[in-house]
A and B are shown apart, each in its own frame.
Chain A
Amino acid sequence: MARGPVREVMPAEAAQLIEQGAVLLDTREQHEWNAGYLPGATLLPPAEVVQRVEEVAPDKNRPVVIYCAAGARSMRAALQMASLGYTDVSSMAGGIGLWKSESRPIQMPDSTPAVARNPRYARHLVMPEVGPEGQARLQKSKVLFIGAGGLGSPGLLYLAAAGVGTLGIVDFDVVDLSNLQRQVVHADNRIGMKKTQSATLTIRALNPEVRVVAYDEMLTEENVDRLIAGYDVIIDGTDTFETRYTLNDAAVRAAIPVVHASVFRFEGQLSVFVPYEGPCYRCLYPTPPPPELAPGCSVAGVLGVVPGVMGLLQATEAIKVLLHIGDPLMGRLLIWDALDGSFSEVTLRRDPTCPACGIDAARRQPDAASQPSLATAG
């Protein structure tokens, strides 16, 4: 015996029907939809059912699942549809409320912007660890590079390729021929050009969807708070102790994670400093060495691929921090020896007496951004 065109189904059965290809309609108001809806649903507010249902569900013989908040409006809409000739309409009992209480998936409208359908990111979108939501998160993210040099170059390229929405670059230098052995974001025909401008050209050519913010400045105590404000992660590719400490202290004040790396000849080191969660650079080294004991880097040289590898590890850590996936290199220092082909690791601890992020400093943290530098030791 044929059943009528309208029936009421529980969420479990609705889920089955949806999986089997039923048209899924949401008959609530826009503001309710905005708080989340069933994946794959089309919004059809109650007042529009009669006028628009044939537009959103043209095949009247195809099964339809319709829901609302609790089940009443969807039953009314189902009956209206039956009177229009629809032959198989299931109203979901309990509506989205019951669906949610059974921990079934809900989609947020913001989580499916155009980026989630962008073929550029297809290899990201298929991975559950990134997926549409992760890709949208990357698009909303802002990463600041201190330096568009050996460490910054690969990271800029790959974070641009990855679709990080905003890349800030702090660099006051111009491209020099001797940079091109490792600073691959620049190019031979841009010698003499500002590094920020050169990097911007390369990034635009690779991924025009990325917004580049160029700061042709040297990072100083005076401008650091302004430069880093609003960024989600900072990539430290600086090459002097002074800038490393200036950056560290400001990042701690602003509670912005810093992905730290340094290179020397055939070796690189890497760690992620997440303020108040793990150690900061000052926990590791409260004071820089005096100039007479600081080994000179510029005369020592560096194998070009070493900052390349370390810069890409920085980019990897930045993505992990932005997406909250994996175990960031927090409280750990990774040491890479290119000649040995070996990675080793030491444990870093947060120093409770750290002048930047220690207990006394942390106590003042809520207002820290408006305070002068807490880290004056040394």
Chain B
Amino acid sequence: MTRVRIPPVLRVHVDGQKEVEATGATVGELLRNLTADNVGLSEQLFGEDGGLHRFVNVYLNGQDVRYLQVLDTPVSERDAVIILPAMAGGGAAGGS
């Protein structure tokens, strides 16, 4: 199992969890397993073409997978995956 950090804006799709575990030999496999039964999360991560949305970045041990092998990047159990979608909040959120 590899640890996947879920950003605050997507936690609503994973019962509020900050981090979940998933299996997979590659980043793509890992994320597909993670979203297999989760349409909401799947829509947030993947476009209709099956690729990652351009407004979602995935980091493997701090490195953007787009500069590795994208979804084919191999992962191991010791790796840490971070999902980071674009976030707009400026602290005026809720007030202005």
A residues lining the B interface (CB < 8 Å): 147, 149-152, 173, 176, 178-179, 181-183, 195, 236-241, 244, 261-267, 269, 284-289, 293-295, 297-302, 306-307, 310-311, 333, 335, 337, 340, 344-349
Contacts and interface: CB of A to CB of B under 8 A. Distances in A.
A150 B92 contact: yes
A220 to B, nearest CB: 16
A178 B89 CA distance: 16
Contact of B55 (A183, A269, A288): A288
B91 A178 contact: no
Nearest to B53: A289
Most buried by A among B64, B85, B87: B87
Interface in B41-58: 43-44, 53-55, 57
Contacts of B90: 147, 149-151, 236-240, 261-263, 307
A306 B86 contact: no
Given A179-B95, A289-B53, A289-B55, A264 B62 contact: no
A349 B8 CA distance: 23
B22 interface: no
B59 A147 contact: no
Question: Mostly helix, strand, loop or mixed at chain B's interface?
Answer: loop
A147 B89 contact: no
B61 to A, nearest CB: 9
A185 to B, nearest CB: 12
Contact of A302 (B43, B59, B85, B89): B89
A297 B86 CA distance: 12
A346 B95 contact: no
B55 A297 contact: no
B94 A178 contact: yes
B25 to A, nearest CB: 22
25 contacts: A149-B95, A151-B92, A176-B95, A182-B91, A195-B96, A239-B91, A261-B90, A262-B90, A285-B55, A289-B55, A293-B53, A295-B12, A295-B87, A297-B93, A297-B94, A298-B93, A298-B94, A300-B9, A300-B93, A301-B93, A302-B94, A337-B18, A345-B62, A346-B84, A347-B59
A149 B55 contact: no
Question: 3 closest A-B pairs (Cβ-Cβ)?
Answer: A150-B91, A307-B91, A149-B92
B89 A262 contact: yes
Contacts of B87: 262, 264, 269, 295
Given A178-B94, A264-B93, A285-B86, 11 more contacts: A173-B96, A181-B95, A238-B88, A262-B87, A263-B91, A295-B10, A300-B89, A311-B91, A344-B82, A346-B82, A347-B64
Contacts of A265: 8
A302 B63 contact: no
Given A150-B90, A239-B92, A263-B93, A347 B62 contact: yes
A211 B81 CA distance: 46
A241 B86 contact: yes
Contact of B57 (A151, A236, A284, A287): A284
